[in-house]
Amino acid sequence: MRLKGTKRITLETIAVILSIVIFWVPFFFVILNSLKNKTDAALLDLSWPSSIQWSNYTEVLTAQDHMVIRSFINSTLITLLSIVVLIIVSAMTGYVLQRRNDRWSGIIQFLVMAGLMIPPAVVPTIWVLDSIHLFKTMTGIVLVEVALGISFAVMLFRSFMATIPREIDEAAVVDGCGSLRMFFQIIFPLLMPVTSTVVVLSSVGIYNDFVNPLYFFPGAKNATIQLTLYNFTSMYNTSWNLLFADIILISIPPLILFIFFNKRIVAGMTAGAVKG
């Protein structure tokens, strides 16, 4: 027993050390260099700043006519709109797929799950968006984000729906509830644990998305928060101190989400996985 306890403590210690090395050391490196002047930050080391430059953050916020602030607004709008559409569509799809067991539901489920394996095609997507006049528009990038996240969200909602008894549906029908009223007033409130999980995970992914806004939402006025990293890099010169300061500012909203909702994420995913 004592040997097993020693082995367990050793493994836990190794895990903690690895987490520090893999996650916290790089984060500490970014913080340190965001507070240095341009010359010291160019060394890219873990030395303490010779003088702390809080002005780096002010310069980042005011660069390119306050592009970081505009891009933050764009990223926030894209994230909020995408999450609203994603939650409604995914919850309703997961409900139908879990409650129905006919041939068509199996085919639809296969097509939805195929979205987890088939990579997105950039050029055909641009052609489709341009043909329906949604290229370079907020609506277009929202639809792209929803399409890329719907498979994972439907999988979670469908698994969690298995924990809700069918008797609730039958009782609602007996009481005279229509389909939409039954779903939004009775079923959807019961999906709050998994909804929280989908909201946090999907919002962080959409907020941190770099590739899709670059391809499908180009233009200086359409810049998102991740694309502002280009402000401080070029072929011949990179302002590492400003680049790292921008990274810190970008990281604050997702970090806050994970700090306050990490328990909800685990609860929502495990409930669907264990009982589904």
Q: What is the largest CA-CA distance in the chain?
A: 73
Average pLDDT, the chain: 86
Q: Which of 23-37, 204-218, 229-243 has the lowest mean pLDDT?
A: 229-243
- The candidate with the shortest Cα–Cα distance to 62, out of 184, 237, 231, 189, is 231
139 within a domain of the structure (yes/no): yes
DSSP of 54-111: THHHHHHHHHHHHHHHHHHHHHHHHHHHHHHHHHHHHHHHHHHHHH--SHHHHHHHHH
Q: Is residue 219 part of a domain?
A: yes
Instruction: Convert the pLDDT of each residue in 122-146 to its tens digit.
Output: 899 999 999 999 999 999 999 999 9
Domain that holds residue 129: 57-275
Residues in contact with 134: Cβ distance below 8 Å, sequence separation at least 6, in sequence order: 140, 143
User: Of 12-26, 39-53, 256-270, which range is least confident?
Assistant: 256-270
Sign of the torsion formed by the C-alpha atoms of 85, 88, 89 and 90: positive
Q: Do the domain assignments include residue 26? A: no
How many whole angstroms separate alpha carbon 16 and alpha carbon 11?
A: 9
Q: Considering the domain boundaries, does residue 231 fall inside one?
A: yes
pTM exceeds 0.75 for this model: yes
69: number of Cβ within 10 Å = 13
169-179 mean pLDDT: 83
Reported confidence tier of residue 276, pLDDT bands at 50, 70, 90:
very low
Establish if 229 belongs to a structural domain. Answer: yes
| Structural domains in the chain (count) | 1
CATH number of 74's domain: 1.10.3720.10
Q: Closest by alpha carbon to 256, among 248, 244, 246, 245?
A: 248
